[in-house]
Structure 1
Amino acid sequence: MQHPLTHVRGFNRTLCATAVAIACFSTSFASAQEQSLVEEGSKLERIEVTARKTTESLQEVPVAITSIGAGELTEKGISVLTEVQQFSPNTTLQTSRGTNSTLTAFIRGVGQQDPLWGYEPGVGIYIDDVYMARPQGAVLDLLDVQRIEVLRGPQGTLYGKNTIGGAVKYVTKEMSGDPQFTAQATLGSYNQQDVKVTGQYPVIEDVVYMGFGYANLSRDGFGTYLQSALPDQDRENYNKDLWAARLTLEVHATDDLFFRFGWDKTEDDSNAKGGYRLLPSLLVDAPVPDSKFDSYTSLPTWNKVELEGYNWLAQYNVNDALELKYIGSHRESYSPTNIDFDNTSLDIFDVPAEYKDENDTHELQANFSGNDFSVVSGVYYYDGESCGNFDAILGFLGRAAFSTPGLTREVSGCNNSESWAVYSQVNYDITEQLSVSVGARYTDEEKSATVNNGLVFYNLYPYSGWFDGYERPAGELVPQVLGRDANGDDVLDSPAVESWSRFTPRVGVEYQMNRDMMFFASYSQGFKSGTFNPRASGPEPGVKPEVVDSFELGMKSDLTDSLRLNATLFSYVHKDRQYIGVEGDSDDPTALQQRLRNAAETEGQGIEIEMTYVATDNLQFDVAYGYIDFDIVKNDAIPPLIGLASTPENTFNFAANYLLDTSWGSFIFNANYYYRDGYLLFETSDLIQQDAYGMVNASVSWESVHGNWFGGLHLKNITDEEYLVGGYDFVTPDPDTGELGPGLGGDTTLIGYYGDPRTVHITVGYRF
């Protein structure tokens, strides 16, 4: 794998040359075609998005954005959010290690890998403009979805904190008011059995509509737990056992007044995911398995992710120019999980954990449209509590070193946030072709945190009944180590409290050269919240927010009635990056000090190109390409940074779609080839890295002449590529030979988690 810093200087010249070439080509081509486009119209689809919180054409929005609609999702058999990464340049959406539902998201190399409570994501996930604050449960199964929008680059003005990499928006279908019902069933590889039911019904004609959706999704494991210290438990690995439900009530009180109330719940009982040992164990008979999806464990294999949320919307059109909107939500989640870091039948590095989250959001928005300008503005409030606990069980090490029944480092605590923000963005037309956009957001946030951290000289599990025989003695707790009183003095019975505020601007210029071509340039800033170290072993201050300053130069163009080309050049500086440094004697687990600091600064630049070519009325080709390069400006992280995590230098997707109309109905054939360059799993280690790989997918979908019956056959990862999406590296390289020896836990813990293997599934459905 080539070092990520190679060719940094040469890239700047390449970037400029590419920008000039695109501009020259587009200008001359569009001028020759302008008149014919007006006369002939366009074969290209008009795609509507809400990236700027108003409905606009994709080609009119000066933002790097990918939108995938409901039809395309169905045709390609895309059923889970992580598959969307293939169609958005410089985007990583992958399932985190240990569970099926926790999301690892990076856009343009910016994100957050560690899902521990207290850490904030770098990519915001939104469901109907409601923010999902935690990565647990963010790997959404797509139910009753209208489209998925991926906004790349900082979205700090309209979307606020924790969108320094970008935002992913999940937009559900609006109701038409007509009675509708759709049922579909799916059978596939590994005994996949899915059922989805959606529909709507007018409770009061033209006034009140009720919508519903339910999904039950199950699949056997891709692999097996080959050894287990516990008898009579489910040994499937990478299985799926999930249900999700949604209810929506819409009230069209008048032509200008609209209300929507929603409820959704997801319960994922899939097993905990066991990792693949990349090295054989030194302590027990646990060789490298034959299958990347086989593992060993000393923990229970059960796992759970529970999500539930309520949301509500009130929208009032005061007049043709002014719209008022209120969006509110309440969300809760609970996730007890079993993660065996070492993946052996020994209790040498087991980490059972619990995550609990609860948050409320309120947003009041005003949208005004005048003759030459428009304004989007609002006030936003967020109140969230994020708590958890984990037990790092080093039982074998404890018995060997301390002559005790075991050894556990327990960490627990809460990291709570209360913030408010006010924002506004103005788009002003200077002339018919030239416009400017100016926006800003002011955010004020206060966080409080407690951390309990200590050693227990036996094997401890998070709560009574987790694991028979290993329960906490009554009244015994590890000490609180992080807390502070109002005078800033360290105490052991109060939370640490700090506050931050941030002004995040955006300035843009757009030039509409003709009706089919727009150029834009922008500067925007975003930030990821300051926070406290959830693994603190003693008093330490909170860290400042991370900040990204980003510059973009882009083009949106329909070069002909059948060729669309959108391109964005970007450059950013990522400052005050938050990293935990491990300080102390790595051979003594009782001496480790994990301190969170603003320890690094990086710079990145790249290009993103998306092209659609409608070759005939029946044949369409799509291309998405992303390139990113970066430099490390400041590197005080311990250990030091060596690259970007989960961020390949090049991403590429080529897709073809063919429509065939017959007397039996319409058939749509589509296939795509997706390529990712090699990438690191961790920014501070190259012990686990994924080589470049390509993936091939193919589908054929069908709809009957009358449109009531439909179906599809979908083949995913046809060449059965094996690719890493997560891992753990607790080993000690020999400084002379480089040979990997035991690390924390006393074993060679070098573990990989993999993406889905080759699968085939068939879907049949009926709608009326």
Structure 2
Amino acid sequence: MNPSKKSKRNLVLLSRSAAAILAIYGSGLHYAQAQSSDATAKASDDTNVAKVVVSARRREETLQDVPVSVTAYSADQISKSGIADVTGLALTLPNTTLSASRGTNSTLTSFMRGVGQQDPLAGFEAGVGIYLDDIYLARPQGAVAEIYDVERIEVLRGPQGTLYGRNTIGGAVKYVTRKMGPNTDVRLKASVGSYGQMDGVLTASTPLSDTVRVGGTLAKFKRNGFGTNLATGEDNYNKDVSAARLSAEFMPSSALFIRISGDTSQDDSNPKHGHRLTVGKISNAPILDNVYDTRANLNTVLGHKQQVTQSGISALVEYQVQPDLLFKSVTASRHDTSYAPIDFDSLNKVDFDVPALYKNKQFSQEFQLTYTGKSFQGVAGVYYIDANAYDKFDVRLLGTSTFTEGDIDTKAWAAFADMSFDLSKDVSLSVGGRYTVDKREASILRQIYLGTDGSPAMGNPAAVLFRTDTNLTKADLHREDKKFTPRISASWKASSDQTMYASWTEGFKGGGFDPRLNLVGTKLTLDKAKQGFLPEKISTFELGLKSAFANNAIFTNIAVFHSDYQDVQIPGSVAIDTNGDGKDDSFAGVTTNAGKAKIDGLELEATARITDAFSMSGMFSYIDAKYTKYIGAGNADVTALRVFQNTPKQSASIRANYDWNMALLGQSGKLSLSSSLAFRGKTYQFETPTPLLDQDSFKLWDASLVWSRSDNRMRIGLHGKNLSDTRYKVAGYLFPTLGEGSTTAFYGNPRTYTLTLDYRF
């Protein structure tokens, strides 16, 4: 790559300006680049900021050298910040939204650079991929997992496909677990906090011989609710999660590494019900003062309380064929089950109640070859996944129970490669490509039963069938999508401290079928239903500069990008009149391919060690995401009326940390005081602006006081989150014409305090 002197000068000036502002004014934005653990960081002296090693391109590289938009968090940084789960990372990530989905405790809604997927139903692929090591999690249920037993978390923004097994169109979040050491290692983490919080994580590993190591983790996370269910007396927004992981590692020779692992978790928290934003249309029920309180009366599904269970097993084989050639095999099987009582109306009556059951299972296999030569590096692989997503639920509303069952099979395979060539000492070129085949089959059944006691499939065998609206089998609903997606990037080491890069990437997400489709009461024809919705496509151009200043005391990363986004999949629900009496009495899924959009953005991350004791870090991002073509119902052009959901135009954060030496309990150590402030601009919950549900801009203030023993065997921390006790919406439902009118919101956590103890025996 040989950019013009003007382009280089402008980027360098921008980078240096950001560093100067950070150092002079002390207002650097919260930088998500990790202050990494010993396993992943090296610093040339105590005044430097640690250099983070990541595997974003399937080989170890320092974060400042890799020409990719990636942010990394080490286990040490996560511990010192008191971050509990993956949603806690979102406020420090540029152009990223991570939150618990509406009406759930553990289903993840994720968006990056305007691309994502809010609906967790079968049939909809995630826009942002979640990986546990190299294993892609096909469904969002259970993805809001507590963070434990990780070495680091890497977050890649933009389309992924030439480096990863499963193609993801928006980005990827990757949990990297640590390998076991050669000595017995036992670690305990205990936490107590506000709202009755009591957490415990016990991790242990030991060698059985020179070639075999075993280990495991047991974890429990428990907390009372932020509010109360006034109908049942139970806590609302509480937590009750158990988890476990077992691993065995085998090293028959210095060239061969094998890991067999299994994990499981169970979420027994109460149903998380929403807060009504409007007075009841029929009952005139008032709006409650506490946004975490509810009057919802639906608490079971098929006699089963709310519960999410998930488990998986995997086998990793790494064989060093030659010093510069590594073969890797990743085999995995996972499944999860969710009993989800969803009370849309949040009132103590059967007005709009939806007991739902989700079941997902997947098998995946990936083979990789990674070459790391002196002037040529790359990865090539093949990937296969066989997944099934199943859901069934009743809609109990206005004297009827509408039963919906969706059963979606996905079989996909792909071949991918990404190669980097050093054209000179300072210039390198990367080219990659992926060929993907996605096959989907679906069966969808939709029936209306008289009465609100439910359907036979959901526990009422005496139900009387009124009408069958949809009955399509996998012989009716099937499609195959094929796509080649290339990637090309060039990087230039402008100096020993600055790396410029430019990349162009195409992304792809296969089409599918809405499991709520209704052939009666909507204008959907049978032919249209059989076609399903089309694949999404995106092409992204990115230009970036990664810089170091003052002998590696200051780092800045800047990226600007432009994306052309086509055939955007917009799942939604509309109220319908099923019996022709002129009143809406149910809802149906209507998924459209909106058309086209253009997305432009800027991302800045910076960190600086101003003195040996004082450091600052921060982030700022800006995004301009607009639909350029959006055809709605009846072929109406509604482009000017639509917005991007879960994509605030601006987001920023700032963090300051001060360390000083202090002995405690007769042991030498270091005390760290840190404080951060995060800002998020106005966020729309849906593509149509909804003033009641949309969240205006807000700020969150966190602070931590952490003492770490000099030998890193003990850490004691006091963490305060949302210290200003801000109320902010993260999700919601909008069905204002149905029954009592269902406009309900779900909120982020209130002010909390947590005292943590980490001890390594």
- How far the C-alpha of 1:185 sits from its partner, in A, is 1.6
Q: Counterpart amino acid of 1:104?
A: T
Matches within 5 A, 1:143-542: 143-159=148-164, 163-204=168-209, 206-228=210-232, 235-284=234-283, 286-300=285-299, 302-394=305-397, 397-398=398-399, 407-461=400-454, 471-473=460-462, 479=468, 481=470, 483=472, 494-538=475-519, 539=526, 540=529, 541-542=531-532
**Residue among 596, 600, 621 paired with 1:626:** 621
Inter-partner Cα distance in structure 2 for 1:701 and 1:611: 23
Inter-partner Cα distance in structure 2 for 1:445 and 1:615: 51
Structure 2 vs 1, CA of residues 699 and 40 (structure 1 numbering), >3 Å: closer, same or farther?
Answer: closer
Structure 2 vs 1, CA of residues 126 and 73 (structure 1 numbering), >3 Å: closer, same or farther?
Answer: same
- How far the C-alpha of 1:632 sits from its partner, in A, is 1.4
- How far the C-alpha of 1:18 sits from its partner, in A, is 10
Match of 2:660 in 1: 660
Contact 1:108 1:647 in 2 (8 A): yes
- How far the C-alpha of 1:227 sits from its partner, in A, is 2.4
Match of 1:681 in 2: 685
Structure 2 vs 1, CA of residues 593 and 106 (structure 1 numbering), >3 Å: closer, same or farther?
Answer: closer
**Residue among 81, 91, 95 paired with 2:96:** 91
Normalising to structure 1: TM-score of the pair?
0.88
| Pairing 1:577–2:568 present | yes
Contact 1:384 1:417 in 2 (8 A): yes
- How far the C-alpha of 1:481 sits from its partner, in A, is 2.8
What's the CA shift string for 1:713-768, capped at 9, x where partnerless? 0000000010001101112xxxxxxxxxxx12x22321110000000010123212
Inter-partner Cα distance in structure 2 for 1:327 and 1:593: 39
Inter-partner Cα distance in structure 1 for 2:185 and 2:725: 39
Structure 2 vs 1, CA of residues 39 and 109 (structure 1 numbering), >3 Å: closer, same or farther?
Answer: closer
Contact 2:440 2:480 in 1 (8 A): yes
- How far the C-alpha of 1:140 sits from its partner, in A, is 1.3
- How far the C-alpha of 1:592 sits from its partner, in A, is 6.2
Inter-partner Cα distance in structure 2 for 1:589 and 1:748: 11
Inter-partner Cα distance in structure 2 for 1:28 and 1:676: 23
**Residue among 691, 702, 708 paired with 1:703:** 708
- How far the C-alpha of 1:594 sits from its partner, in A, is 3.9
Contact 1:75 1:670 in 2 (8 A): no
Contact 1:482 1:496 in 2 (8 A): no
Q: Counterpart amino acid of 1:633?
A: T
Match of 1:8 in 2: none
Structure 2 vs 1, CA of residues 275 and 40 (structure 1 numbering), >3 Å: closer, same or farther?
Answer: closer
**Residue among 43, 51, 60 paired with 2:56:** 51
Inter-partner Cα distance in structure 1 for 2:86 and 2:100: 10
Contact 2:515 2:589 in 1 (8 A): no
Q: How many residues align?
A: 706
Inter-partner Cα distance in structure 2 for 1:431 and 1:515: 14
Contact 2:136 2:166 in 1 (8 A): no
Q: Counterpart amino acid of 1:654?
A: I
- How far the C-alpha of 1:462 sits from its partner, in A, is 6.7
Gap regions ≥5 residues in structure 2: 20-42, 520-525
Match of 1:601 in 2: 596
- How far the C-alpha of 1:705 sits from its partner, in A, is 3.9
What's the CA shift string for 1:20-40, capped at 9, x where partnerless? 63334559999xxxxxxx998
Contact 1:452 1:478 in 2 (8 A): no
- How far the C-alpha of 1:161 sits from its partner, in A, is 5.0
Match of 1:543 in 2: 533
- How far the C-alpha of 1:675 sits from its partner, in A, is 0.4
- How far the C-alpha of 1:165 sits from its partner, in A, is 1.2
- How far the C-alpha of 1:143 sits from its partner, in A, is 1.1
Contact 1:161 1:526 in 2 (8 A): no
Q: Counterpart amino acid of 2:263?
A: D
Structure 2 vs 1, CA of residues 256 and 411 (structure 1 numbering), >3 Å: closer, same or farther?
Answer: same
Inter-partner Cα distance in structure 1 for 2:268 and 2:721: 24
What's the CA shift string for 1:377-396, capped at 9, x where partnerless? 000000000001111110xx
Structure 2 vs 1, CA of residues 29 and 170 (structure 1 numbering), >3 Å: closer, same or farther?
Answer: closer
Residues 79-88 or 595-604, more deviating: 595-604
Q: Counterpart amino acid of 1:624?
A: M
- How far the C-alpha of 1:330 sits from its partner, in A, is 0.2
| Pairing 1:750–2:740 present | no
Contact 2:450 2:466 in 1 (8 A): no
Q: Secondary structure at the match of 1:75?
A: helix
- How far the C-alpha of 1:596 sits from its partner, in A, is 2.7
Contact 1:161 1:527 in 2 (8 A): no
Inter-partner Cα distance in structure 2 for 1:185 and 1:29: 39
What's the CA shift string for 1:628-666, capped at 9, x where partnerless? 012211111349452111111101010112222123222
- How far the C-alpha of 1:702 sits from its partner, in A, is 1.5
Inter-partner Cα distance in structure 2 for 1:480 and 1:593: 11
- How far the C-alpha of 1:366 sits from its partner, in A, is 0.2
Inter-partner Cα distance in structure 1 for 2:279 and 2:167: 39
Q: Secondary structure at the match of 2:10?
A: helix
Match of 2:545 in 1: 555
Match of 2:522 in 1: none
Inter-partner Cα distance in structure 2 for 1:345 and 1:17: 66
Inter-partner Cα distance in structure 2 for 1:724 and 1:172: 32
**Residue among 23, 34, 39 paired with 2:12:** 23
Structure 2 vs 1, CA of residues 311 and 476 (structure 1 numbering), >3 Å: closer, same or farther?
Answer: farther
Contact 1:681 1:727 in 2 (8 A): yes
Q: Counterpart amino acid of 2:513?
A: F
**Residue among 113, 116, 119 paired with 1:114:** 119
Contact 2:47 2:612 in 1 (8 A): no
What's the CA shift string for 1:526-551, capped at 9, x where partnerless? 11221112111133112221111101
Inter-partner Cα distance in structure 2 for 1:123 and 1:390: 26
Contact 2:454 2:463 in 1 (8 A): no
- How far the C-alpha of 1:690 sits from its partner, in A, is 0.5
- How far the C-alpha of 1:704 sits from its partner, in A, is 2.6
What's the CA shift string for 1:257-311, capped at 9, x where partnerless? 0100110001001011110111111223631111110011121263110000011
Match of 1:61 in 2: 66
Q: Counterpart amino acid of 2:138?
A: A
Inter-partner Cα distance in structure 1 for 2:469 and 2:576: 22
Contact 2:267 2:307 in 1 (8 A): yes
For the aligned residue pairs, the C-alpha RMSD in angstroms reads 2.4
Match of 2:36 in 1: none
Inter-partner Cα distance in structure 1 for 2:15 and 2:97: 30
Structure 2 vs 1, CA of residues 21 and 482 (structure 1 numbering), >3 Å: closer, same or farther?
Answer: farther
- How far the C-alpha of 1:463 sits from its partner, in A, is 6.8
Contact 1:216 1:243 in 2 (8 A): yes
Inter-partner Cα distance in structure 2 for 1:477 and 1:443: 43
Match of 1:82 in 2: 87
Structure 2 vs 1, CA of residues 203 and 460 (structure 1 numbering), >3 Å: closer, same or farther?
Answer: farther
Matches within 5 A, 1:134-149: 134-149=139-154
Q: Secondary structure at the match of 1:85?
A: helix
- How far the C-alpha of 1:461 sits from its partner, in A, is 4.0
Structure 2 vs 1, CA of residues 105 and 548 (structure 1 numbering), >3 Å: closer, same or farther?
Answer: same
- Percent identity among equivalent residues? 37
- How far the C-alpha of 1:459 sits from its partner, in A, is 2.0
Q: Counterpart amino acid of 2:343?
A: D
Structure 2 vs 1, CA of residues 434 and 274 (structure 1 numbering), >3 Å: closer, same or farther?
Answer: same
Q: Secondary structure at the match of 2:80?
A: helix
Structure 2 vs 1, CA of residues 328 and 119 (structure 1 numbering), >3 Å: closer, same or farther?
Answer: same
